[in-house]
Amino acid sequence: MTRIAVIGAAGRMGKVLMQAAHEAPGVELGAAIVSPNSSLLGADAGELAGVGKLGVVLKASLEAAADDFDVLIDFTNPELTLVNMAECARLGKGIVIGTTGLNEQQQATLQDYAGRMPVVFAPNMSVGVNLLLDILHRAASVLQEGYDVEIIETHHRHKVDAPSGTAIRLGEVVADAMGRDLKQCAVYGREGIIGPRSAQEIGFETVRAGDVVGDHTVLFASEGERIEITHKASSRMTFAKGAVRACDWLSDKANGVYDMQDVLGLKN
C-alpha cells in the first residue's frame, strides 16, 4: 500500500488531492502538510477534505511526517517545489510534481535532485491530456506541410503563469513532430502591424477568466480546412486522480525523472 503525502493540504488543489488519495484503491493518505503558521495544524485531514475523519492530522513539515508517507504530491510553486525535493531526497522519498512555471535553471536543479530519488514531473496529470499528447504527435507528423499551428488555452483568473505548462508541452510535442525548435518558432501573442505569419511559427493565445479549470485547443489550419484537437477539464479531480495514479506507479521505481507518458505506458 503506497502512502501518499499532500503538501499545501489547505489549498483548493490540496483538498482535492486528499480526497483522491482516500478514494483510490492501492494507496492511502498517510500525511498532510500545511503552513507552520496555519490555524488548522492538528486538525483531521479527512474532515478538511470532506471525506470524514481519517486519523491523519495536519502537520507543519515533511520532516514531522517522515514516518507516514512514501511519495509526496507537490502542486505548489517552483521555489517551494525545489525545497520539497531537497527534503524528499534527504528523507529517501519519491515525489510527484504537478507544479508549473519552472524556469530552465529550476528544471536543471530538478534533474539534479532526480539522481537521488524517483520523480514524476508533468505539467498536466490528467489521463486525458496525456492521451491527447500521444494523439497530437501523430497528427502533427502528418500535418506538418501546409498547416498553420495555433495553441489556445483558457484558465481561471487566479492562474499566475502564462502560457500554461500544458500549452507549452503541447507546443513542444508539435514542434518535435514537425522537426522544429519551439524556442525559435514560438510566438506568444500578437499586437499591431506584424505582417503575415510565417509558415514555421507556432502561435500561443492565453485567456484568463472566471473559474475555468483548464481548456486547451491545438488548431491546424490550411487553405480549405481546419482541424482542432481539444481537451476541456471541468474538475480538478481529473488532475488529482492522475497524480495519485502516478504515486502508486512511482513507488517501486528507480531514481530518475519520469512523466505521465511513462505512468500510462504511452511511450514507444
Contacts of 218 (CB under 8 A, 6+ apart): 136, 149, 150, 151, 170, 174, 228, 229, 230
pLDDT score for 268: 62
Q: Which band of pLDDT confidence, cut at 50, 70 and 90, is reported for residue 85?
A: very high
Q: What is the pTM of this model?
A: 0.85
216 is an active site residue: no
Q: Is 137 a catalytic residue?
A: no
Give the pLDDT mean for 142-146. 93
Half-sphere exposure of residue 37: CA atoms within 13 angstroms, side-chain side: 0
Task: Note the pLDDT tens digit of each residue in 212-267.
Answer: 999 999 999 999 999 999 999 999 999 999 999 999 999 999 999 999 999 999 87
Whether residue 237 contacts residue 19, with contact meaning beta carbons closer than 8 Å, is answered with yes
**Of 155, 216, 231, 241, which one is the catalytic site residue?**
155
Concatenated DSSP letters of 69-133: -SEEEE-S-HHHHHHHHHHHHHHT-EEEE------HHHHHHHHHHTTSSEEEE-S---HHHHHHH
Domains for the chain: give ranges and CATH numbers.
2-121+236-263 (3.40.50.720), 127-233 (3.30.360.10)
Range 186-202 average pLDDT:
95
Torsion of CA 107, 211, 13, 110, to 10 degrees: 0
DSSP state of 197: P
Calculate mean pLDDT across residues 65-82: 96
d(CA 132, CA 233): 13
Instruction: Cell numbers for 111, please give them.
Output: 534533474
Residue 258's pLDDT is what? Answer: 97
